[in-house]
């Protein structure tokens, strides 16, 4: 099914050549200011043909709100979102080489196997165009998270081919023990990432090497993959459900639902399998920072005008935090308040200009040649999509936990419950703090 | 929520120290032979203390079917499954060091943040004991898949620390282009894997090196992680839903829901980001093998007595297959009939014997020392759990696709639909073949 | 949430004064011919201002398919449907009496209680306009059910105020024992119902009395309620899930989700509580009719052109049927193949022209006068909405059962299973018949 | 599927003759005191053989908590509940008349149609024994609602056959305009209802007439149906979702999922179709009662010891209430804070002692005679099951709304939003009151 989320629920529709693409967002909190201007920036960031100088007046992929708001304020009812397809039917359908061959490593063949019919574009819903609906929905989630908690979600390109933003060293075989890398995760923002267009890798040297590599692949009509890393800052603790819906499981699900993804790792990830537990464990330390999270950022993450916001949602920080963060902000499937970070692997694009020996729908061997210009590397454009899916996961988890917390808060206090909190002899003030401290609730 | 799956739906309950653990399996097809003997083998394989000589008479973790079968046949109604907990309440609750400190990189602290109460065991549902219910349910799914399609699901340890089953070489930087590795994926079975206990890595040399490594970590009261690789053979094509519920997304979700996991990769995975598209693409070739899948295996995968089965479910193979399999059996989120394989990263166990400097629930710095014997590496025991979650994902996808296919088959044939199948001039026989060929349907 | 169904899933959006209303239909079987012409007839039947002579060229409430079909054939992917709102913003918003007072027995007040904001129209999503998306989706479900099973769904007005289509008599205190009524259920079709516009009560005398009653209420600016009865013929047996999702429970849910409904009864309903069990029980008789259901009707139910259909979906009838049908075609929550029929109670419309003493949002007492022409009785217009919701319930149940049946059919036959079928000594032919007989499967 | 609810989710298992029946309750708020003593009373009330003198020491149908609590406090994790079946396998299975014939108006035949196998008891999950799991889960929901909001849910028998608790009169054709009846709804409690055992109709005269009627039917080995009416007091406003999941739709779904039900009506119900809108509309009046709901009752509804509760959950009453309550406490699908009441129709039990002419599984005509003592009227025993399902619906709706409200409360206040609340010129205090007044939130 084309639905994501249980509490903030997004349902998308549309393929490459139909009339429009879009989505319905159900469960958006009522009373939030929302117009198309909140949604358009990420739509524009995901469009093809991004370069350092994107014109803000670009009229393509304009999103239009159909319902769910009035006078620019969310009503709490489903928000319909729609973007017109400009190129609704391919001109030469049925006559081209591409119609004769299922494209290797594309969805053309499997869609036919699944449905018994195929869209003119081959794997209809597997098109990158399908992601438009998601990105629109994600922008709404992001706005809420920013207003309510000051959540910041920033993704960037961390490798293309064998060119890395932060290559493993003998001292730091895993990035996650490299202070420079951790410092980047703490401070990176979208403006900085976009200043490194077209590759969106926030390091001058690495960006140059990546640009050169992509050019090389473009020149020989080949393609190359890469990884996107994403950090989520200021997400409250307590997010994620035990057992099947651990927060990292939901993130992995979300990320592997993005076209062309092949892998996901949270925190120390695969490198973490090679670190001894005595180093990998993140010891607790008292959270000496303010007891409250900072007010949500006043400056917009991208160009969203947020200056009017005066947010009441100061949330108590957890009393404990961790000294290191190999866990990636999640322990036992539940967020602990530290930055959540993860990486996603993208394969090389399947559409290449080189001729490919393959077989036709009619089971005959032959040569497929894809005409036209093809993107040799999709990773930079994937950046806003990764952010989007992260926002949808966090938003859904936040709403799940808010309900639970609010339900618990209506219950009478139970005497002697301290022992269940690991506090053999609590003072009164400690006890109250510990309760107030209850994560999202 | 503690529920997995939409069509074959598993809901689990239970934590470390409660009366029992178990699950309800809803949606199991009616008319399948099923007794505890079908379920117990995997239960036993996941138990702690596995060695090469596991006694089949072990009375621990005995599963008992509560409902949903009669005379050893499934009724189609919910199957209740239950396993008693032997050690229901910790003796020294409230007095030990472990009660005073949230264990680093465990779920103790985040559970308290989430719920405001904590179980005596810390992160109650994050216990390995929680996986018992899943494994019981997975065994039912596996039996169905084996009877209906001859599906074989085999997982094994592919690395511990920096010891690899199949290390990258200069010729094969990615395993997925290494013929030796691909041959292993095609032929490995559970008996072979278990013959390499205690490490379950099916290569004599690698297994020895891994055993030595684990011993070393045990001796210094430290721990180490590793990876488990899993292959699913004979799964029908057409599984997985476009968009959010791509098959690899569901697998990633399932795998990252296993305690202690940090990463997931399908097919070429992270290494695939470094392979040029011209090599990474899997060209199509005519499926010259028999037009039907082999009859499901007559010999049991483990010790399950299946000899009485005479399966009617011969399924048409897809007409095309791929020459290489960097895709890992999934394209555009949908299975193509080739073997599905993926790897899962497990971090080093958080519980170590070494003293750890950390902070208490009461926010005071101190030293946590975990008494007792601890498992320095959980990867071998994770093998049946990975198989279980794979079975649950495939089973749910099979039932989703069976419904769709059956619904489609009731529709009248549409004239001229050939063009939608990429077949400009089909002969009658080709047309019929192509229809019959419709994946699961 | 604004989603209905698990397998054929409809998500709607839109309120009275937004840009458009519509829905996404997810899970529609692929390979079905579908254009706007299949959907428009029911859209037109639900529009206000219906009379005996509805022009087919009416351009209002035109539905437009956004996605999910190509060349007029469903792809299996989500179908986006959209209808423009003509009157997007009320002219005099904020100034009228209606803005000052929550309308009695409307949703204005409860929406404000729920969301803390209110749409300009009061209860935004409670508007009759919300039902447009449902009706569009229902038309797709209906088409599938007609093509696959020859399902016929026909609703009609059975009472307005105290005027009944078939009043209880001393001989037949319950309609369900009245042969005349049962005959009507067996034969009624939509053309006949619509020939009794404006009241849609298929009996000349009753229709006249109802028209007079409605006129009387219109004249005194008051309103009156009524009941709609609906029959579903040719639905396969085996639909509905045990326990919580019994077929009648899903129907009740669906019907009570229609605005202004107050009650639901299946089969004998409330009158059935007064019939002795010895009469109420429906004894079984051999199904002497053909062993197969008739081919789906060749003539369109409304004006949908279906003449090109040549349906392969001949389904085995159950071997047993019931002599009477107090059960309303459902026993133990599962359909038995007999006609399913039920009635729905609609309250008098809350908007009346008469002045009403009430209180304002500002908590002051006052008089609310609703200007303009109001519909004194909505029951005739509710007819296609009742049919729609019935179609959505049956469609979802059919797809659930098709998946289960297809899964079961892949299992090997079990020896001795006859005893589980209540057949102590089955002959071979009986056994086979009994298997083939397995309902939807 | 055997699952009810999205936020407080109950999954049940078990049929008549299996090892045990039970359920898993997922989503129960953490930190609530809960032991078997909270659950047992309703279990006992639903047992067969109720009379005025039920022994509290009855050892049958004892529920046992498997998980999800520790030291008598809920952990927030799934609560497993289990009740042993005493009579696990019928003695004479396969030989009796009952095995040869599908019982008329039972689920035997439809289960066989659905699943292709049948349980020894016929319609396995359609057994009254299936309701045990629900009732156990409902008791947990009820306890929460009582502690958090002082919710009171009381059901009673309102008719058996043609004997009514409150028969329609010429002055009050609908009960809902009869002050005596409304007074009863406001004050009835479970002790009073149980004091009228065995019929549970809280009126001495009516109860006598009903007892006589039931005896009469028992004597002639026949059966008779009836109605149960239920009132829910102190439920907060704002419950229920627009569109498909209106609160009355969820209640109707829940009630029609109870075995043997044939109808549901909310508020004025079917009688309401005959009341003019000018009378049926419920005008608003200022809520002159205290601005806060009374503290939850200190005395237990049944024998549950609640005396230790000191509830903090004083909830603001809505500022407006309605003068009459034909709406049954729900408008536009959303609760308005007034008592919610509805009635449920139960058919006469299908199992009767009289011989019945019917057909066998083998398609032969014959006579079915059900030996043994049968319950001629199930309505009194249905009382706690109706209460249970009401509790599950309200609990799920409360948790949905709490999450939404908590999410909204984190948003910054929007200037000028007053106009969206129907308040052209709010004073500051009114504005604040109106915000605070936001239903559950």
Question: So what's the pLDDT on residue C302?
Answer: 34
D224 near C CB under 8 A = yes
Which residues in chain C have their CB less than 8 angstroms from residue D259's CB?
A: 332
C164 touches D at CB < 8 Å? no
Q: Which subunits have 3 or more CB–CB pairs within 8 Å of chain C?
A: A, B, D
CB contact under 8 A, C414 and B33: yes
Q: Which residues pair with D64 in a beta bridge?
A: D82
pLDDT at C50 over 50: yes
Residue D310 clears pLDDT 80, i.e. is over it: no
Q: In this predicted structure, what is the pLDDT of residue B307?
A: 26
**Contact by Cβ (8 Å): D402, A400:** no
pLDDT at B143 over 70: yes
B363 in Cβ contact with A319 (< 8 Å): yes
pLDDT at site A23? 97
List B137's β-bridge partners, or say none: none
Q: Mean pLDDT of all residues in chain D?
A: 84
Residues in chain D, how many? 441
- Using CB atoms, pick whichever of D2, D224, D264 lies closest to residue C243: D2
Cα within 13 Å of Cα(A378), Cβ side: 24
> What's residue C410's pLDDT?
94
Q: Is D89 within 8 Å of chain A by CB? A: no
**Residue C374's pLDDT is what?**
80
CB contact under 8 A, C312 and B73: no
What is d(CA C25, CA C81) in angstroms, rounded to the nearest whole number? Answer: 8
Residue of B nearest to D84 (CA): B66
What tokens were used for B402? 């069976």
Best mutation target among A72, A406, A413, A420 (most D Cβ atoms within 10 Å) is: A406
Of all helices (H) and strands (E), which one includes residue B173? none
Lowest mean pLDDT of A293-307, C84-98, C164-178, D109-123, name the range. Answer: A293-307
Q: Which residues of B257-289 are buried (b: 16+ CB within 10 A; e: fewer)?
A: bbbbbbbbbbbbbbbbbbbbbbebbbbbbebee
Specify the range with the lowest mean pLDDT, choosing from B278-282, C123-127, D403-407: C123-127
Question: B420 pLDDT exceeds 80?
Answer: no
Domains of chain B: 3-405 (3.60.150.10), 411-436 (no CATH)
Euclidean distance between CA atoms C331 and C321, whole angstroms: 12
User: What confidence score (pLDDT) does residue D315 get?
Assistant: 52
* Residue C101 vs residue C311, higher pLDDT: C101
Note whether A384 and A407 are within 8 A (CB).
Answer: no
Q: Hey, of C410, C414, C421, C440, which one would you mutate to test binding to chain B, going by the most B CBs within 10 A of its CB?
A: C410
For the cut 90, the answer to whether the pLDDT of residue C16 exceeds it is no
Q: Residue B190: how many CB atoms within 10 A of its CB?
A: 23
- For residue C30, report the phi and psi dihedrals to the nearest 5 degrees: -75, 160
D21 interfaces chain C, CB cutoff of 8 Å: no
pLDDT in tens, B326-343: 999 999 999 999 999 999
Task: Say if residue B198's pLDDT is above 50.
Answer: yes
Question: Which chain D residues are closer than 8 Å to C251 by Cβ?
Answer: 256
Most confident range (mean pLDDT) of A431-440, D20-29, D52-61, D103-112 is D20-29
* One pLDDT digit (tens) per residue for chain A, 441 residues: 799 999 999 999 998 889 999 999 999 999 999 999 999 999 989 887 665 443 444 557 899 999 999 989 999 999 999 999 886 555 444 456 667 899 999 999 999 999 988 777 666 777 788 999 999 999 999 999 999 999 999 999 999 999 999 988 888 878 888 888 999 999 999 999 999 999 999 999 999 999 999 999 999 999 999 999 999 999 999 999 989 999 999 999 999 999 999 999 999 999 999 999 999 999 999 987 654 444 443 333 333 222 223 333 335 678 899 999 999 999 999 999 999 999 999 999 999 989 999 999 889 999 998 776 788 999 999 999 999 999 999 999 999 999 999 999 999 987 655 555 554 434 444 444 444 433 343
What does the pLDDT read at residue B127?
78
Say whether C107 sits in a helix, a strand or coil. Answer: coil
pLDDT at residue B313 is higher than 60 = no
Give the model's pLDDT for residue B51: 55
With contact defined as beta carbons under 8 Å apart, do B101 and B362 qualify? no
The predicted structure's pLDDT at residue C77: 94
Q: Is A69 helix (H, G, I), strand (E, B) or coil?
A: strand
Q: Give the lowest-confidence range in A29-33, C2-6, D318-322.
A: D318-322
What is the C-alpha separation between C201 and C198, in angstroms, rounded? 9
Q: What H or E segment, with its residue span, contains residue A380?
A: helix A379-409
Facing residue for C245 by CB, picked from D1, D114, D240: D1
C-beta neighbour count of A365 within 10 angstroms? 12
Residue whose pair of structure tokens reads 């605005």 in the numeric block: C259
B76 touches chain A (CB under 8 A): no
Q: How would residue C188 be classed by pLDDT, with cut points 50, 70 and 90?
A: very high
Angle at which helix D379-409 crosses helix D247-256, to 10 degrees, equals 150
Handedness of CA D391, D393, D396, D397 (dihedral sign): negative
> What confidence tier does D416 reach under pLDDT thresholds 50, 70, 90?
low
Q: Pick the closest to residue C331 from D113, D343, A121 (CA basis).
A: D113
Measured from the Cβ of residue B187, the count of other Cβ atoms closer than 10 Å reads: 12
Q: What chain D residue is nearest to A401 in terms of C-alpha separation?
A: D403
Q: Do the Cβ atoms of C441 and C399 come closer than 8 Å?
A: no
- pLDDT for the residue numbered C318: 84
Give me the percent of chain B exceeding a pLDDT of 90: 66
Report the C-alpha gap between D292 and D236 in whole angstroms: 11
pTM: 0.92
Tokens of D375: 């319950």
SS3 B225: coil
Joined together, the tokens standing for residue A354 give 């080189």
Any chain D CB within 8 A of the CB of C407?
no
Q: Which pair of tokens denotes residue C326? A: 């107090």
Q: Specify the higher pLDDT residue, A347 or B54.
A: A347
Which residues of D fall within a CB distance of 8 Å from B118?
Answer: 75
Angle at B66 between CA B64 and CA B71, to 5 degrees: 90
Residue D427 confidence (pLDDT): 43
| pLDDT of C126 | 76
Q: What integer pLDDT is reported at residue C122 of this predicted model?
A: 63
Residue B153: pLDDT over 50: yes
| Maximum average pLDDT range among B290-299, C31-40, C427-436 | C31-40
| Residue pair C14/C130 in contact by the 8 Å Cβ criterion | yes
Q: Do A78 and C31 touch (CB under 8 A)?
A: no
The DSSP code for A184 is H
On the question of pLDDT at B426 being above 50, the answer is: no
Residues of chain D contacting residue B23, judged by C-beta atoms under 8 Å apart: 24
| Cα–Cα distance measured from residue C191 to residue C199, given in angstroms and rounded to the nearest whole number | 13
The pLDDT of residue D325 is above 80: yes
Q: How far apart are CA D56 and CA D17, in angstroms?
A: 25
Query: What pLDDT is attached to residue C424?
Result: 45
If DSSP codes are grouped into helix, strand and coil, which group holds residue B345? strand
Instruction: Find the helix or strand (DSSP H, E) in which B101 lies.
Output: none
Measured between beta carbons, the chain A residues lying within 8 angstroms of C70 are 17-18, 119-120, 124
The whole-angstrom separation of Cα B82 and Cα B66 is: 7
* Rounded-to-integer distance, Cα D37 and Cα D30, Å: 18
Which residues are CB-contacts of D389 (< 8 A; sequence separation ≥ 6)?
D134, D138, D251, D254, D255, D257, D258
Q: Enumerate the residues of chain C whose CB falls inside 8 A of the CB of residue B421.
A: none
Strands, DSSP E only, in B236-338? 261-266, 284-286, 320-322, 330-331, 334-335
**Residue C365 or residue B297, greater confidence:** C365
Nearest C-alpha of chain B: how many angstroms from A107?
4
* HSE-CB of D326 using CA atoms within 13 angstroms: 32
Q: Which residues in chain B are contacts of D33 at CB distance < 8 A?
A: none
Answer for the pair C228, C343: CB distance below 8 angstroms, yes or no: yes
Could you count the other beta carbons within 10 Å of the beta carbon of residue C369?
13
pLDDT value, residue B400: 95
Read off the pLDDT of residues C210-221 as tens digits, 9 standing for 90 and up. Answer: 999 999 999 999
Quote the pLDDT of residue B122: 63
The first and second tokens of residue D292, run together, are: 């806060």
Residue pair A102/A108 in contact by the 8 Å Cβ criterion: yes
Instruction: Report the C-alpha gap between C355 and C358 in whole angstroms.
Output: 9
Where does the pLDDT of residue C439 fall: very low under 50, low under 70, confident under 90, or very high at 90 and above? very low
Closest to C48 (Cα-Cα) out of C214, C273, C198: C198
H-only helix segments in B163-294: 179-187, 190-195, 204-219, 247-256, 277-280
- Best mean pLDDT range from A106-120, B42-56, B372-386, D192-206: D192-206
Q: What is the mean pLDDT of residues B174-193?
A: 92
Interchain pair C256, D251: CB under 8 A? yes
Q: Testing the interface with D: which of A31, A149, A308 to mutate, by most D Cβ within 10 A?
A: A31
Does residue C119 or residue D177 have the better pLDDT?
D177
Give the pair of three-digit tokens for residue A303: 């160009």
Secondary structure of chain D as H, E, C letters: CCEECCCCEEEEECCCCCCEEEEEEECCCCCCECCHHHHHHHHHHHCCCCCCCCCCCCCCCCCEECCCEECCEECCCCEEEEEECCCCCCCCCCCCHHHHCCCCCCCHHHHHHHHCCCECCECHHHCHHHHHHHHHHHHHHHHHHHHHHCCEEEEEEEEECCEECCCCCCCCCCHHHCHHHHHHHHHCCHHHHHCCCCCCCCCHHHHHHHHHHHHHHHHCCCCCCEEEEEEEECCCCCCCCCHHHCHHHHHHHHHHCCCCEEEEEECCCCHHHHCCHHHHCCCEEECCCCCECCCCCCCCCCCCCCCCCCCCCCCECCCEEECCCCCCCEECCEECCCCEEEEEEECCCCCCCCCEEEECCCCCEEEECCCCCCCCCCHHHHHHHHHHHHHHHHHHHHHHHHHHHHHHHCCCCCCCHHHHHCCCCCCHHHHHHHHHCCCCC
Q: Which two tokens stand for residue A100?
A: 């004769």
Taking residues B424-430, report their average pLDDT.
44
Tell me which residue in A71, A404, A417 faces D29 most closely, judged by beta carbons: A404
pLDDT of residue D171: 83
Quick one: how far is CA C106 from the chain centroid? 22
Judged on CB neighbours under 10 Å (0-12, 13-18, 19+), C59 is: exposed
Cα torsion through D410, D412, D414, D415, rounded to 10: 140
Catalytic, A17? Answer yes
What SS3 class is residue C174?
coil
Q: What is the pLDDT of residue D127?
A: 78
What pLDDT was estimated at residue D314? 39
A25 inside 8 A of chain D by CB = no
């Amino acid at each position: 099914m084309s639905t994501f989320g249980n509490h903030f629920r997004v349902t998308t529709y549309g393929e490459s050549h139909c009339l429009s693409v879009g989505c319905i967002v159900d469960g958006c909190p009522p009373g939030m200011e929302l117009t198309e201007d909140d949604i358009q920036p990420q739509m524009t960031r995901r469009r093809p043909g991004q370069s350092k100088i994107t014109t803000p007046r670009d009229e393509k992929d304009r999103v239009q709100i159909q319902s769910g708001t009035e006078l620019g304020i969310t009503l709490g009812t489903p928000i319909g979102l729609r973007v017109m397809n400009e190129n609704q039917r391919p001109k030469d359908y049925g006559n081209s080489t591409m119609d004769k061959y299922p494209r290797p490593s594309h969805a053309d063949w499997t869609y036919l196997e699944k449905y018994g019919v195929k869209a003119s574009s081959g794997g209809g819903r597997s098109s990158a165009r399908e992601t438009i609906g998601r990105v629109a929905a994600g922008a709404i989630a992001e706005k809420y998270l920013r207003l309510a908690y000051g959540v910041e979600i920033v993704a960037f390109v961390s490798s293309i081919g064998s060119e890395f933003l932060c290559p493993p060293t003998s001292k730091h075989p895993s990035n996650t023990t490299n202070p420079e890398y951790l410092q980047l995760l703490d401070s990176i923002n979208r403006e900085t990432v976009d200043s490194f267009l077209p590759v969106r890798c926030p390091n001058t040297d690495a960006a140059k090497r990546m640009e050169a590599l992509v050019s090389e692949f473009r020149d020989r009509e080949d393609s190359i993959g890469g990884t996107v890393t994403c950090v989520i800052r200021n997400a409250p603790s307590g997010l994620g459900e035990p057992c099947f819906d651990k927060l990292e499981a939901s993130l992995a699900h979300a990320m592997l639902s993005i076209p062309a993804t092949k892998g996901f790792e949270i925190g120390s990830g695969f490198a973490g399998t090679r670190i001894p537990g005595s180093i990998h464990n993140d010891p607790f330390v008292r959270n000496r920072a303010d007891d409250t999270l900072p007010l949500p950022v006043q400056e917009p993450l991208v160009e969203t005008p947020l200056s009017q916001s005066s947010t009441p949602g100061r949330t108590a920080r957890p009393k404990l935090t961790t000294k290191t963060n190999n866990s990636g902000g999640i322990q036992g499937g539940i967020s602990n308040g530290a930055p959540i970070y993860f990486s996603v692997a993208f394969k090389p694009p399947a559409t290449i200009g080189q001729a490919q020996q393959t077989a036709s729908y009619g089971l005959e061997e032959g040569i497929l040649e894809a005409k036209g210009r093809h993107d040799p590397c999709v990773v930079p454009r994937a950046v806003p999509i990764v952010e989007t899916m992260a926002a949808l996961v966090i938003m859904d988890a936040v709403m799940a936990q808010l309900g639970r917390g609010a339900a618990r808060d209506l219950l009478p206090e139970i005497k002697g419950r301290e022992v269940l909190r690991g506090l053999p002899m609590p003072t009164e003030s400690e006890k109250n703090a510990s309760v107030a401290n209850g994560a999202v609730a």
